[in-house]
Structure 1
Amino acid sequence: MGDENHTDPLLDEAADWLLRLQEAPRDARTAEEFETWLARSPEHARAWASIGRSWRLIGEVAPTHEAAWKQRTRSRRRLSRSGHSVSGGWRRIAGIAVATACVAFLALSAPSFMLRLQADHLTGTAESRVITLADGSTVTLGADSAIAATVSSHERSVTLLAGEAFFEVRRDVARPFTVKAGEVTVAVLGTAFDVQLTTSTATVQLEHGSVDVGYSREGTSGNAHLAPGEMMRVDRQTGEMSRNPIAKDDIAAWRNGYLFVSDATIGFVAEQLQRYHPAWISVPDRDLAARRVTGLYDLRDPDRALRALVEPYGGRVRAVSPYLRILSRL
């Protein structure tokens, strides 16, 4: 959900044409203008082929003019100046989002495979699991999450590889329990707490007991102690720590089907809702993505949660396909 505006311009245009052809599959003028665009250069043809292949991979039906994916330009034609612009407004945002979703799908395939190799336990979209470790501690693994665990006679450690998990740790003074989440380490003896890992932050919420939160990256380090009813958000890039109070019922609220956020950006919330939604969620509008919200969102109906997230700011949720949602203000 990070910077989603830097895609290949030709991929943007190809995605725009895909949407236009889907909207008007029998329009002769649209088809003629598309053929003119496609014939401009081999790069245009390759961009169209790439979007087409990726669109099929994310599960959408074959778009109109599928046969053109395999064509290579045989001749160059002059570009008609009377055609519709392939940039600006909603169509521009949709084009960026479709291109981003297709590229992201391919880019995420390899990391997902590597995650499966590293993980001892993992979950899928909208799935949760309760795992009992060898020492009797339990881990409730949230949706689209993964952990690797080591429990021996002298060590108890868990690495949160992705997503979120709630830990209920059995007290053992001789074997402190540690959780590693990116650059952040949580050390406890016996307690209950939640750890969430995103691309930009690691967040710890403490239900009872006590935990020490540490950060270390490239010579930068920091430590803090949390008391029950507190949460700590750590910037993974800078190590900046932000402490806030949190109601007990809001700690790991996802276990009861809700997502609680406090002073978080819409982009951050969309990243969390992504773990509960089968479609790819794109927020190409940077200003909208940067808006800050506090609220409780229903994870059992992620589309409703998305609407509740953006509509107060003039945003809309556009279902481009069963596999793509675009959040925008246009």
Structure 2
Amino acid sequence: MTNADAISLKSAAYWFVELQEHPVSLQTRERFEQWLQQPQNRAAWEKVLQMHQTFAQLQQHQQQHPELDKLLQQPALSRRTALKCFAVFGTSFFSYMLARTPWSKSQWYAVTADHAAAIGQTQTVHLSEYLQLWLNTNSAIDSNLSGSQTRLELLQGEIFLHLQSGSGQADLLLTSTFEQQSIQIASRGCQLNVYNYGQGCRLSLYEGEALISFAQQSLLLSGAEEITLTSNGFGNTKPVASLPDWREGKLVATGMRLTQFCAELNRYRRGIISVAEDAQNLLIDGVFPAFAPDTALDMLANSLPVKINHFGPWWVQVSLARNA
């Protein structure tokens, strides 16, 4: 392996980790697309995907051989134990050790959060007779019900909540953090959708009131209003009408750039959906099944002059059809 190959492989590993941390910003995805244009980088990326597929097979291998995992659970892996593992399982042992390294906070939240929805799934949570939550794809929350207050922390992703007004209900305090900035949302009754996309947070209020505290400022949302918070502070409020489309399993596009559409669809599918440079500025309209992303991709190919290229189960590229 040349030094250039090693650099490309290291970059590919970085991108794999970066793109697994949902949600991914449109700017990050465009930088990835630009990096992928180089043949050397593309070859390195395919190798990383092959390695990841091997790791998945090794995890299945571990389930079939529990003695391997039992040995690996020891606090300190002795040289004798390592040699024993190598003798039994061959070179796959070392690959397995690499596979055990935690690389995704999504996987971490799936284990540690009070409630979590995996990629491509939703979850409904009844916290009390007054409070019900719906978690969108790849989302996680912690909850704490204590006396007169219900505290929620949105760790990642998107939730919709319905807090009914009533004499016996607890006040709600919802917090979330992006780019080391904390948001607090207080309410005594509301229907609210909160989406933390990593570089900001979008709040959509459909009913009731919610007091937002952010960057040493406060704002009261009421009625049907939506606002986006970023590192620059509060954005402008705008009216919002219907409930979020994902609650009905829909991804609705209206004059949406193909790169933005694929980035949104990628939230519901494991792996990477990339867009070739020649197709990035295409615009799309339509209603697509969010929780059936492969079906949505097939519909996309029937709506636009594009073709869908599959490079293994984890990587899909959308490019301009040759006869377009």
TM-score over 0.5 for the pair: yes
For 1:298, the equivalent position in structure 2 comes to: 289
Checking the alignment, whether the CA contact within 8 Å between 1:60 and 1:321 is kept in structure 2 is no
Aligned residues of 1:159 and 1:180 also touching (Cα < 8 A): yes
Count, aligned residues: 249
8 A contact 1:54–1:106 mirrored in 2: no
- Structure 2 residue aligned with 1:120: 114
Tell me if 1:177 matches 2:172. yes
The reply on whether 1:211 has 2:210 as its aligned counterpart is: yes
Partner SS for 1:272: helix
Q: Do the aligned partners of 1:188 and 1:212 also contact (CA within 8 Å) in 2? A: yes
AA aligned opposite 2:318: L
Percent of counterpart pairs with the same letter?
18
Q: Secondary structure at the match of 1:114?
A: helix
Unmatched segments (≥5 aa) in structure 1? 18-47, 63-104
Listed as ranges, the matches of 1:1-150 within 5 Å are 1-2=24-25, 3-4=28-29, 5=31, 12-14=38-40, 16-17=42-43, 52-58=47-53, 109-116=103-110, 118-134=112-128, 136-150=130-144
TM-score by length of 2: 0.61
Residues 143-201 of structure 1 show CA distances to partners (whole Å, capped at 9, x for unaligned) of 21111111101431111112211111143688431222324332211111111111223
Paired amino acid for 2:266? Q
Of 273-282 and 307-316, more deviation after overlay is shown by: 307-316
CA distance in 1, matches of 2:33, 2:300: 26
Letter of the structure 1 residue corresponding to residue 212 of structure 2: V
Kept after mapping to 1: 8 A contact 2:204/2:226: yes
- CA distance in 1 between partners of 2:106 and 2:192 (Å): 26
Contact 1:135 1:151 in 2 (8 A): no
Distance 1:16 1:287, change over 3 A: closer
CA distance in 1, matches of 2:251, 2:210: 23
Aligned positions of 1:305-320 closer than 5 A: 305-306=296-297, 316-320=307-311
Q: Decide whether aligned partners of structure 1 residues 253 and 6 sit closer, same or farther in structure 2, where only a CA change above 3 A counts.
A: closer
1:158 maps to 2:158:
no
Alignment partners' CA distance in 1, 2:278 and 2:155: 27
Question: What do the CA deviations read for 1:116-141 (whole angstroms, capped 9, x no partner)?
Answer: 35411101122111111156411111
Which segments of 5 or more consecutive residues in structure 2 lack a partner in the other structure?
A: 1-23, 58-98
**Cα gap change, 1:140 to 1:286, in 2 (>3 Å):** farther
2:284–2:304 CA contact under 8 A, matched in 1? no
The aligned counterpart of 1:92 is none
C-alpha distance in 1 between matches for 2:317 and 2:100: 18
Distance change >3 Å, CA 242–CA 271, structure 1 → 2:
farther
Query: Against the structure 1 CA distance between its residues 317 and 160, is the aligned structure 2 distance closer, same or farther, given a 3 Å change threshold?
Result: farther
Partner in structure 2 of residue 229 of structure 1: 224
CA RMSD of aligned residues (A): 4.1
- The 3-state SS of whatever aligns with 2:247 is helix
Name the structure 1 match of 2:317. Answer: 326
SS of the aligned residue for 1:210 comes to strand
The answer to whether the 8 Å contact 1:180/1:186 transfers is yes
Write the distance in 1 (CA, Å) between the matches of 2:271 and 2:295: 14
Alpha-carbon distance in structure 1 between the residues aligned to 2:302 and 2:231: 31
